[in-house]
């Protein structure tokens, strides 16, 4: 029979084992024994490495396509530009509060700038931004006027980036991008 039926039953699993024959050489060439075939099919090959590697490659590709942390981060609008001061509840006429802010933001979020502001019954004052920061969406400005007065603006940029709503000193104020 040339070894095709010759073989012994393995007491561990009851399967026929062929040793020293053509079938033994063929089984050795195929790799692990028959009892491992179900496991190989489950993990995708002779070992789990190819399937694990494929899963990792797909996961890395997915995450790199989506951006950091798996999500694309929204673009943060810069504060750089010209802004007009508006005070809710007051007319923007010649007797009402008004102002213009020209701001520049550095790559670290530091703000510099200048401008002018006017409040009712007060003259127009030029100012510089002595200190300022933008940690989106929060904006802080320390404004130093030409007459050595200082006033703070604390605000929060709206989602569209076209307005900064906040408080100038004790007055509710909005900076609107021009």
- pLDDT tens for residues 67-121? 555 456 678 899 999 999 998 887 766 677 889 999 999 999 999 999 998 887 8
Rounded mean pLDDT, 47-60: 71
Specify whether the CB–CB gap between 174 and 161 falls below 8 A.
Answer: no
**Which pTM value belongs to this model?**
0.58
**Domains (ranges, CATH) in the chain?**
8-70 (no CATH), 81-177 (2.40.128.120)
For 129, the 3-state DSSP assignment is strand
Give all strands (DSSP E) within 1-124, no chain letters.
8-9, 16-17, 81-86, 98-105, 111-118
Q: Is the pLDDT of residue 47 over 60?
A: no
Specify whether the CB–CB gap between 109 and 89 falls below 8 A.
Answer: no
């Amino acid at each position: 029979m040339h070894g095709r039926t010759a073989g012994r039953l393995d007491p561990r699993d009851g399967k026929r084992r062929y040793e020293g024959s053509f079938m033994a050489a063929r089984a050795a060439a195929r790799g692990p024994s028959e009892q491992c075939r179900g496991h190989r099919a489950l993990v995708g090959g002779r070992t789990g490495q190819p399937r694990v590697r494929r899963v990792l490659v797909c996961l890395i590709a997915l995450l790199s396509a989506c951006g950091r942390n798996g999500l694309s981060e929204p673009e943060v609008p810069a504060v750089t530009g010209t802004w007009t001061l508006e005070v809710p509840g007051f007319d923007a006429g010649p007797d009402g509060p008004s102002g213009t802010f020209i701001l520049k933001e550095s790559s670290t979020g530091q703000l510099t700038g200048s401008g002018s502001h006017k409040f009712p019954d007060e003259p127009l004052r030029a100012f510089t931004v002595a200190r300022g920061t933008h940690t989106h969406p929060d904006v802080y400005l320390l404004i130093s006027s030409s007459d050595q007065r200082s006033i703070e603006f604390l605000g929060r940029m709206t989602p569209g980036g076209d307005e900064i709503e906040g408080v100038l000193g004790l007055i509710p104020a909005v900076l609107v991008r021009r």
